[in-house]
Structure 1
Amino acid sequence: MTRFLSLALLAAATLVTGCEAVDMGQAEARGDTEEIIVLTDSATWAGPVGDAIRAELGRPIVTLPSNQGAFKLRHQPLTSRFFENLKLQPNLVFAAPIDTEGDIGDFLRARVGEENLAQVRSGTVSAVNLREDLWANNQLVTIATAASDSALAAQIRRRGPELRQAYETLARERTIGEMFSRLQQTDLEEELLAARGYRVNIQYDYVKVQDTTATVAGRTGSFVRYRRVLSDTWRDFFVFAQDGVATLPPPAEIDRITDGLLETFARGSLDSSYVQLDDQRPMRRGTAEIAGRPAREQRGFWYMTNDLMAGSYVRYAFVDEETDRLYVYYGMTFAPSRTLDKREFLRQMEAIVYTFRTAADVRREADP
């Protein structure tokens, strides 16, 4: 896992928290990948600190139909009775002002240490300490404290993007492990590698539905598509690869490529129906790194023309400089029931692309 900055300071002084020896044989974290448990007292949870945590870690995802939060947040008071069980949860946040009464206050003061309490109480230092694998493997723990509610809330909001990224990275890595822990279709992966020069991990119940050469938006390349269709949901992804491309095209051109491929291959039940990107609803663009390559990420909604079907998608576009090859990965989900966790389904689409490897990548990893 990526190593995160251990300590953030609002002043030049350094806050040293208590150290714990890491047991190399410690257990794997277990629990809901999409849930963060927030350990604090009721007053803190109902005040500015709770508001800041909800705003940063539970903020709505505008590119999901149900506007689900980035994570499910569960408030729980800290008690010694349940502490050992909590230490095996994957996502934890301990947060409260330094002089809060009760178990959470005792816990935070012990972590800060007697020699640093004066600095925290004076407001010289506020800290948000991110710890990976603290008590279990594949775990992320945030320990946050400051002199007052307002100071701590401000620090959490300032560190919000970093905190969110840290928990999202862990969630993606845990999702990859959960998806491919059993019955991974290595035969399809090797087939893809031999035929197309790259591979992605393919979960046990995905089916290849297209493998061909396609020409869209004036570009010709290979097109491979896989689907997982259940009674009430489906997940669907494709990879388009074009040789002779040294520079990543602009987003508008990648949109045209995507829409062209969807119109050709993602057809509905009617002759006039096919999937397209929905440019009338929220869309978000960002950057990512796929197998060491800078990539452009885009998230938004798709819709079926002349039909009522719609859902969310995530797309990554990047160029492999070794081969001058453009790759466009697109994954979409359809989960109409309000009871289904659409955030989890879309994270699965995201997880697949992070398993992408070219033939050269595979050789390097086999013989580093």
Structure 2
Amino acid sequence: MKTHSLLISFLMLLVLMGACSSGPIVRNATGFAYEVVVTMNKADWDAPAGKAIKAELTSDIPGLPQAEPAFKITYVTPDQFNGLLTYVRNILIVKIDKTQYTKVSLSYENNRWAKGQVVMVLTAPDDEAILEYVKAHPRNIVDFFTKCERNRTIGQLEKEHSVVVANHVKDRFNVILNAPGNMTYFRDTTDFFWASNNANTGRTDIVVYDFPYEDADTFTADYLIAKRDSVMKANMPGTFPGSYMATDTAWVTYTPTMINGKYCGVLRGLWHMKGDMMGGPFVSHARLDEKNNRVVVVEGFVFAPETDKRNFIRRIESALYTLRLPGEFEETAIEKPDVPEEK
């Protein structure tokens, strides 16, 4: 892979701009979201270990209508890794040496060469150890960098977000939610809130609704999909008479997860307009508000038929992580990434 790419050109431009400014230069991390620089010996990169790392970082993102890689990779050899490349926001350094290492080990450091940067170092005695690690911990590396990118977006949203969304969801549902600042178009009803950036390219929407909690069966795929379809049919009509939003049930997944130590049910998949031609990816979070015995659902969806959807859906998904229920208002949604070692 050539290093003289658009990424490198962009980095050079930033350095030149900084050189022309007066006063000390504050070195911030450069590069684009969901891009990573990988550096390791060429022989290892071309071997099965390198191919396994590349396959993981470029694995398909679940829940999109077309295949899109989790990350764009810029590969360089260790002797090429210097200067501009050391300022990139996501860096993976792989070292394979049986004289120094006895097992796979992962570590990371924030702000090593630039502010806002994360550098992961993977060490291993040989190729086989890396292959075994990747097999035993599928998606661990890609999930680590994904969480780092999500934390960056959450940090940005904490500083700058839509006041319209924040005020309405606080008044209507007594929750805190930091949506992107360009979400200024909205509709607020008794038990349903919708907001959108109303963009011609890369339209993203967010909805909030709640309903009484009955029992543990609430947090199942069947229940939440049925609830979603009933709520969307009533509140998200299409352009044509009788059209409405529905879930493509053949392409939806349900994943239980923990957010700040508390349970969250995640639906991810595709939506379409019954009786219309619109559709795209969505992701929703269902959280239990124990204080008020209710389930609060926040969902983001994207309509961008003309372009890739990875960054759009990931940005709106980051906003879902900022949901804070009563009793959580002082908490932060930024979580520490974890990098388990080989056992």
The question of a shared fold, defined as TM-score above 0.5 by the shorter chain, is answered with yes
Counterpart amino acid of residue 118 in structure 1: T
Give SS of 2:87's match: coil
Q: CA deviation at 1:29?
A: 2.6
Superposition map of 1:202-213 within 5 A = 202-213=179-190
How many residues matched?
307
Match of 2:242 in 1: 272
- Cα distance in 2 between the residues matched to 1:168 and 1:363: 24
Aligned residue type for 1:95:
V
| Deviation string, structure 1 residues 277-312 (Cα, Å, up to 9, x no partner) | 10133x332223345421011211111212332210
Matching residue of 1:118? 99
Which residue of structure 2 aligns with residue 288 of structure 1?
257
1:312 to 273, 281, 284: 281
Report the secondary structure of 2:268's partner residue: strand
> Aligned partner of 1:171: which letter?
E
What is the CA–CA distance in structure 2 between the aligned matches of 1:51 and 1:87, rounded to whole Å?
23
Long gaps (5+) in structure 2: 1-25, 333-343
Match of 1:350 in 2: 317
Give the match for residue 150 of structure 2.
172
Deviation at residue 195 of structure 1 after TM alignment: 3.5
Which one has the largest radius of gyration?
Answer: 1
Shift of 1:269: 1.2
Q: 1:256 to 1:319 in 2, by over 3 A?
A: same
* Alignment match, 2:88: 89
Identical positions, percent: 25
CA contact (8 A) 1:246 1:319 kept: no
Q: Which runs of 5+ in 1 are unaligned?
A: 1-25, 99-116, 214-221
Would you say the 8 A contact 1:248–1:326 is kept in 2?
A: no
**Corresponding residue for residue 199 of structure 1:** 176
Q: In structure 2, what is the equivalent of residue 23 of structure 1?
A: none
Report the counterpart of residue 145 of structure 1 in structure 2.
Answer: 123
2:231 to 256, 261, 273: 261
Counterpart residue number, 1:42: 42
Instruction: Report if aligned partners of 2:245, 2:272 keep a CA contact under 8 Å in 1.
Output: yes
| Residue 268 of structure 1, CA deviation | 1.4
Q: CA deviation at 1:317?
A: 0.9
Matched, 1:32 2:10: no
Deviation at 1:119, TM superposition (A): 5.1
- Counterpart CA distance in 2 for 1:244 and 1:284 is 21
Pick the aligned partner of 1:225 from 194, 212, 215.
Answer: 194
The one-character-per-residue Cα deviations of 1:135-154 (angstroms, maximum 9, x if unpaired) are 34443322223232233333
Q: Give the counterpart of 2:269 among 300, 305, 327.
A: 300
Q: Which SS does the other structure have where 1:237 is aligned?
A: strand
In the TM superposition, what is the alpha-carbon distance from 1:261 to its structure 2 partner?
1.6
2:211 aligned residue: 242
| CA pair 154-292 structure 1, distance change in 2 beyond 3 A | closer
Pairing 1:147-166 to 2, within 5 Å after superposition = 147-166=125-144
For the aligned residue pairs, the C-alpha RMSD in angstroms reads: 2.6
